[in-house]
Structure 1
Amino acid sequence: MPLRENYFGHVLAGSGISLRPLRSPPSIPTTHSYLMAVPFFRWLRTRFDLAHDMADPAEIVADVEAGIAFKGTNLWVLFFAILVASVGLNVNSTAVIIGAMLISPLMGPIVGVGFGAATSDVDLVRRGLKNLGIAAGLSVLVSALYFCFTPLTDAGSELLARTTPTTWDVAIALFGGAAGAIGFTRREVSNVVPGVSIATALMPPLCTAGYGLATAHWAFMAGALYLFCINAAFISLAMFLVARILPLPQHNFIDPQHARRAKLMFWAVALLTAVPSVYLAAGIVRRTTFEHNAQRFVDEELNLPGAYVITRRIEYDQRAINVLLTGRVLTPAQLRAVRARLDTYHLSRAQLIVRQGLAQLDSADAHALRTSLLEDVRSRNEQTMAGYDARLAQLQELLTQQAASRSGLPAPDALLREVQAEHPTVRQLALSQLAHPAADSLRADTTVVVSVRTTRPLPADEAQHLSQWLSVRAGTRRPVRLLLETTK
């Protein structure tokens, strides 16, 4: 019987079967190989390759493990982050809230859940979910205790901003989580993860929920927890997707049946994370679209000559637009004409409720009016402070120019370049004037002060040479005094 070779690398000979490797099967071109033959796609793959600077998988796993557990350092940092965020929300300080987000360790268990699901590590997912629940519960309870004892009980704009999620919160959590997952798996430490901690707010919503629990504002509590769940779910989902793309080793199982069940469970966890997230995102998009269209409708159709909008309440759940007007009273015919234009703004199923006159003012209107006033005051304060900062910068520049012109020296940036030509260790230079008032027989005079900052201490002879050079450079208009400082 002649020998017959097959593409599985074996030979059948005679009546007996003898198996031995013969040759490998011919390679079949794939779509990927065709694409990689094109220079443009090879360039794209090189530019967007995430594996070339990825950290060692063992280091990544160690970092994930260290961030999951809430004991010792992580637990103390969590308590301090809760208190800092609560104080920031209480006094309406954006800077303090940002600081709390930076030091908060809540990203650890969220990253652990996504990473564990991507690498088929059951224990990692279980511990991540457990510790996330513990940390979230502690955050709400500790912040609630703080708000029970603080004398400041008013809800500021920073606190109110964490009670109603928007479409942008979903996008920020997803894209920020993806950026954080990439930064977390790099060899070099970068500022990506701290930036993600600021962008995807986790601690402030939990402290806002604590405020709602302490003051019995259940709507605040529900909205803040809703925002936290959205952020946590989308960050975990982003970590799962990025980790699946990266060449990370999968968790090994001794029993194949156990491995199959575990993989099914991981995909179920991923779907349970993704499906509610997509559902929540879709609901937020619908709510945001309705609120945007309703706001535009009120601004364009109800601001009539002689009539003024005092408050507006847009209730998505009831599909209602509740408006309080004052000034000229609209006739029933005018109100019918306004309602007929709802279709133009894609609000065909919305109910328009128009109340006219301040006698119709209720407690909800008073709260909405107070919130609007707080936002307006905050916006005006920010604009005023920005104007003050810009004016102060202009005045400082003007004073610097005047000081340079009176001293006979060039502008600080030009003088710095001249000094660096002879003294390369000089890094910064500033000019100022020291006025000496008239006393007894001495007339008033002004000394030019040149402050120089160097990377290392200047030798005495070099410092004396620089001082003499500055006096010659300034001429005889003003005496010059040199101040030296070394950067640490």
Structure 2
Amino acid sequence: MNVPFLRWLRARFDLAHDMADPAEIVADVEAGIAFKGTNLWVLFFAILVASVGLNVNSTAVIIGAMLISPLMGPIVGVGFGAATSDVDMVRRGLKNLSIAAGLSVLVSALYFSFTPLTDAGSELLARTQPTTWDVAIALFGGAAGAIGFTRREVSNVVPGVSIATALMPPLCTAGYGLATAHWAFMAGALYLFCLNAAFISLAMFLVARILPLPQHAFENRRQARRAKLLFWAVAVLTAVPSVYLAARIVQRTTFEHNAQRFVDEELNLPGAYVVTRRIEADKRTINVLLTGRLLTPAQLRGIRARLAAYRLPRAQLTVRQGLAQLDSADARALRTSLLEDLRSRNEQTMAGYDTRLAQLQQLLAQQAADHTGLPAPETLLREVQAEHPTVRQLGLSRLVQPAADSLRADTTVVVAVRTARPLPATEAQRLTQWLAARAGRQPVRLLLEPAAQDAPPARPVPPRQQRAGRR
């Protein structure tokens, strides 16, 4: 009874039916590994675009740098080479990835050494410390990218993975840390890049092992067995530390989440306000600066007793009261909090503007349709194309002709039409009559724009070529 169901599942989740030819996949992987010519120029431009985006705190520019960055090539090459037992491909992938990462850090450091804008924005600060979600995105996104990379038809999966896994911005953030001597920023950004690269390569390795791809040919079985053992050892050595680091990140993220909730619920008391909070998961410390009403020692003991209820049994809570206790670390934390709040408010404002703009555009289209007596341009285009298939584009507008003295102004409905080829006069007249009837007998003027695909006029043949043709 379960066999048909298993066959149905296998047919639904089969990855081999639309897989590209293995030779094409290998050629694409080889083209992405090399950093010379086009790939090298694109790498330099992606570095500069990402550095500018981080410098001016522009999310759109950073996304553009992720899209054009060629860093996915050698990472995919390492995972694919390990899955197909190609020692040379793995070696070249690791070499080129190291060169590309080093160039990215150095070029971005050079940029941040000369730019007049030296403040760290929210986009840059977001790349200084990996979280649990970064690890999950790298693993699942890498698996999706591996599947999309091996398909016959090109899809938007690989560009989406480039955006989701964010390889170039962490390297440019490391360059910022190198240029400004923020070693914690540099270490955290490189840590994030290494985790992303390791999990993307691991996902590519696992997907490629599932697919029916030919293995690299060796001279003898002993050499093949040795190479496979080496690849599995490298995969395990890569996966085990990555999983360990991912588990540590999960623990740190959980601690930070519980600590944030504890501060929000237990220390926001009437008359007392939280100015800054410094949460260090590695040291399991919570350092809070309060202002306003002073808390008594008994109140502080009661608050510390509540730590266990938030799964923070061994956490150390330090509460400083009064702005006189403000230090440089508090100033940096306050500045970071203000930047995050400003970025969140800007995103909400822009989302509200986009929604309002869409509503206004819809309202204007509806008002135009009501005044002309015709439906929306999209609907009218479909109706016109039913009788005139050569029509490709259509636009509506109202032409108001001011009247003299006290006479009422006349309004003419203008319909602009673009066709694939010139419209005959009889067909144009019939279309004008139909539009006038559709508009309720309002005056309609048909504006025929030049054909979308007009052929250029033929050039006259010179007399010498004519004589040569007659000969």
Matched, 1:192 2:157: yes
Question: Which residue in the other structure is 1:471 paired with?
Answer: 436
1:447 and 1:481 in contact (8 A); partners too: no
1:148 and 1:214 in contact (8 A); partners too: yes
Instruction: Pick the aligned partner of 2:38 from 49, 52, 73.
Output: 73
Instruction: State how far apart, in whole Å, the 2-side matches of 1:141 and 1:360 are.
Output: 39
User: Following TM superposition, by how much is the alpha carbon of 1:448 offset from its aligned partner in structure 2, in angstroms?
Assistant: 2.6
Cα root mean square deviation, aligned: 2.1
1:462–1:366 Cα change, 3 Å: farther
User: Following TM superposition, by how much is the alpha carbon of 1:449 offset from its aligned partner in structure 2, in angstroms?
Assistant: 2.9
1:397–1:101 Cα change, 3 Å: same
Question: Which residue in the other structure is 2:460 paired with?
Answer: none
Instruction: Pick the aligned partner of 2:323 from 341, 358, 361.
Output: 358
Instruction: State how far apart, in whole Å, the 2-side matches of 1:165 and 1:464 are.
Output: 67
Most deviating of 89-98 and 432-441:
432-441
Any idea what SS the aligned residue of 1:124 has? helix
Any idea what SS the aligned residue of 1:155 has? coil
Matched, 1:334 2:303: no
Instruction: Pick the aligned partner of 1:393 from 358, 364, 372.
Output: 358
Instruction: State how far apart, in whole Å, the 1-side matches of 2:51 and 2:363 are.
Output: 42
Question: Which residue in the other structure is 2:459 paired with?
Answer: none
Any idea what SS the aligned residue of 1:313 has? strand
Any idea what SS the aligned residue of 1:162 has? coil
Question: Which residue in the other structure is 1:23 paired with?
Answer: none
* 1:60-97 deviation digits (Å, cap 9, x = unpaired): 11111111110111111111111111111111111111
Instruction: Pick the aligned partner of 2:348 from 379, 383, 386.
Output: 383
Instruction: State how far apart, in whole Å, the 2-side matches of 1:103 and 1:440 are.
Output: 62
Instruction: Pick the aligned partner of 1:125 from 90, 98, 104.
Output: 90
Matched, 1:82 2:47: yes
Count of aligned residue pairs for this structure pair: 453
1:229–1:419 Cα change, 3 Å: same
1:407 and 1:478 in contact (8 A); partners too: no
Instruction: Pick the aligned partner of 1:57 from 10, 18, 22.
Output: 22
Question: Which residue in the other structure is 1:233 paired with?
Answer: 198
Instruction: State how far apart, in whole Å, the 1-side matches of 2:342 and 2:404 are.
Output: 50
Question: Which residue in the other structure is 2:377 paired with?
Answer: 412
Question: Which residue in the other structure is 2:207 paired with?
Answer: 242
Corresponding letter in the other structure for 1:293: N
Instruction: State how far apart, in whole Å, the 2-side matches of 1:384 and 1:202 are.
Output: 29
User: Following TM superposition, by how much is the alpha carbon of 1:461 offset from its aligned partner in structure 2, in angstroms?
Assistant: 3.9
* 1:372-427 deviation digits (Å, cap 9, x = unpaired): 11111121122222222222222222222222222232343443343232123445
Instruction: State how far apart, in whole Å, the 2-side matches of 1:76 and 1:275 are.
Output: 35
Structure 1: gaps spanning 5 or more residues: 1-34
Question: Which residue in the other structure is 1:171 paired with?
Answer: 136
1:223–1:449 Cα change, 3 Å: farther
1:73–1:323 Cα change, 3 Å: same
Matched, 1:282 2:220: no
1:472–1:253 Cα change, 3 Å: same
2:104 and 2:172 in contact (8 A); partners too: yes
Matched, 1:212 2:177: yes
Instruction: Pick the aligned partner of 2:122 from 157, 162, 174.
Output: 157
Any idea what SS the aligned residue of 1:38 has? helix
Instruction: Pick the aligned partner of 1:450 from 415, 423, 441.
Output: 415
1:407 and 1:448 in contact (8 A); partners too: yes
Bigger radius of gyration among the two: 1
Instruction: State how far apart, in whole Å, the 2-side matches of 1:445 and 1:109 are.
Output: 67
Instruction: Pick the aligned partner of 2:166 from 187, 197, 201.
Output: 201
* 1:284-341 deviation digits (Å, cap 9, x = unpaired): 1001000000001001111111111111110112110011111111000000000001
Most deviating of 436-445 and 92-101:
436-445
Instruction: Pick the aligned partner of 2:277 from 288, 312, 316.
Output: 312
* 1:23-42 deviation digits (Å, cap 9, x = unpaired): xxxxxxxxxxxx9x711000
Any idea what SS the aligned residue of 2:347 has? helix
Question: Which residue in the other structure is 2:309 paired with?
Answer: 344
